[in-house]
Structures are given as C-alpha cells and as structure tokens.
Amino acid sequence: MVEMEQVTLQPITEENEHECIHLKPREDQLDLVASNADSLKHAKKEITSKPYGIFAEDQMVGFILYDNEVYHDGYYWILRFMIDEKHQGKGYGKRAIQEVIRTLQYRRDCQQISVSHVPHNSAANALYKRCGFQDTGEFEDNGDTILSYQLGNREGA
C-alpha cells in the first residue's frame, strides 16, 4: 500500500507569507477566488478568521482562510480556499476541508460550518458535498451559493 502524504494546515506567518502569495489557481479559475495577496489583506479585517497554508508534507500547496472562533450564532465560515494549479487533482483540497471539519467539530460553540462559491464552480460544489456539506438553498447578496456542514453529520469526514 502506498503511504499517504500528510496534509496539514499551518498558520501563515511573516516567514511563509511570500510563498503563499505566489500560489495561484489555473488561469481559467481566476474568477472563482480572490488572489491570496487580497485574501491576506482581507484576513486582517475579519477578526474571527485566520489564514493557513495547506501543506503536503513540507510543501505549501494551497491556502485557506476560515473562522478560528465563532462568527455568529454557532456559525464558522470558510472564507477563502484554493489549491495551486500545479497541485490540483491530488486530493489535497478534499483533505484540507476534512482537516477543517476535524478541527472544528469538537468546538462546543460550533453548530455548523458554512461556505459559499460562485454559482458555476461545480468542482468546489462537488468537493464540499464529498466532504459532507449540503445545499442550504440560500445565497449570498452577490448570488453565491451557500453550503453548510451540520455538526453531527460525519458523512465523508
């Protein structure tokens, strides 16, 4: 059996920030997520959230910004999420989301994890559903589709 590479989430620091800013999705995916430079600026304003590098062993392969403390009424949000173009399709994205679920599922104040994506982002939609997220039927003001993971539902996690 082939041993699985370890996928971990590690905080973005002054030391690894540069590496993070250089990670990019494919050209045709640029409308699906903001640049990491923009997300790191955004992270400073969103006080409940914290930015993390997604690491496969020692290599930063992606970026995720998610709530590290409750945002509102039991909700934790995943605000930004991407895997660099060179590292897509290897299961890193799925394992990063599973890692977020694993981290948040024992927080007593966390009732659900929420995320949104632009309506035509079918890859992200499939990934979230594979991890146990479900459609809420709700949309952001800009039309983005909102999905949520209800704690207590461990399917796919």
Ligand X SMILES: CC(C)(COP(=O)(O)OP(=O)(O)OC[C@H]1O[C@@H](n2cnc3c(N)ncnc32)[C@H](O)[C@@H]1OP(=O)(O)O)[C@@H](O)C(=O)NCCC(=O)NCCS
Give the span between the Cα atoms of 25 and 60, in whole angstroms: 13
Number of residues binding to ligand X, judged by CB under 6 A = 22
Token pair 């890193």 is found at: 92
Q: Is the dihedral of CA 13, 56, 37, 121 positive or negative?
A: negative
Stretch that binds ligand X, among 44-52, 66-74, 125-133, 135-143 (CB under 6 A): 125-133
* Residue (88 or 153) nearer to ligand X, CB: 88
**What single letter denotes the amino acid at residue 12?**
I
Looking at the Cβ atoms of 32 and 157, the one nearer to ligand X is 32
Collapsed DSSP state (helix, strand, coil) of residue 4? coil
Site map 26..45 versus ligand X, x via CB under 6 A: ---x--xx------------
The H or E element containing residue 54 is strand 49-56
Residue 64: which H helix or E strand, with range? strand 59-67
Give the residue at shortest CB distance from ligand X.
93
User: What values do phi and psi take at 16, rounded to 5?
Assistant: -105, 5
Question: Which CB, 29 or 68, lies closer to ligand X?
Answer: 29
Select from 53, 138, 156, 71 the least CA-distant residue to 107.
Answer: 71
- Interaction mask 77-116, ligand X, x per CB under 6 A: ----xxx----xxxxxxx----------------------
Select from 2-10, 15-23, 36-44, 120-128 the region that touches ligand X (CB under 6 A). 120-128
Q: Which residues bind ligand X (CB under 6 A)?
A: 25, 29, 32-33, 81-83, 88-94, 117, 121-124, 126-127, 130
